[in-house]
Amino acid sequence: MSDEKKLYGFLVEFEEVDDLRSAAEKVRDAGYTQWDCHSPFPIHGMDGAMGIKPTILPWFVLCAGIIGATVGLLMQWYMNAVDYPIIISGKPMFSLPANIPIIFELTILLSALTAVGGLFALNGLPMHYHPLFSNERFLRATNDRFFLVIEARDPKFNLEQTRQLLDSFGGAAVETVED
């Protein structure tokens, strides 16, 4: 095994929220795609500053809900009207109001499972190791500092140019992060 460490990216630290937001806008405008911001709390307007597009997860959840409703309806219709028809007190073989609870439950069940599974899948979870967690400076990301990280796997990443861009932000520190 090799002990040689691989470059993960550059980390820049900021003390103020506005500095992080301004830097995020500049990184977005520079065309980087593999980068992220870390802060101890949600920052209003950061999605726009980073150019984050809406996720596809709500569409997955909607499709799962529609599938759940359809399966619930068809399953009960098949069981009550086709597979095992029994006339009870002169009621019809299939009545929609009597089947609503199961349709509702299957809609919610499949939607919820898809939301949780999709959340894990789209975010690459569970992640047992991340190179940023070994950086001493990054430990303050949950306390009082703001960080911007540009990953080395970004197609636009260039060692000198990316470093110069991050230095131009005037952050408290710019460091390399190794994997």
pLDDT by residue (tens digit) across 117-159?
999 999 999 989 999 999 999 999 999 999 999 999 999 999 9
The more confidently predicted of residues 1 and 134 is 134
Query: In whole angstroms, how far apart are CA 82 and each of 78, 87, 99?
Result: 5, 12, 15
The whole-number pLDDT of residue 2 equals: 59
Checking if the pLDDT of 36 tops 70, the result is yes
Checking if the pLDDT of 1 tops 80, the result is no
The whole-number pLDDT of residue 125 equals: 92
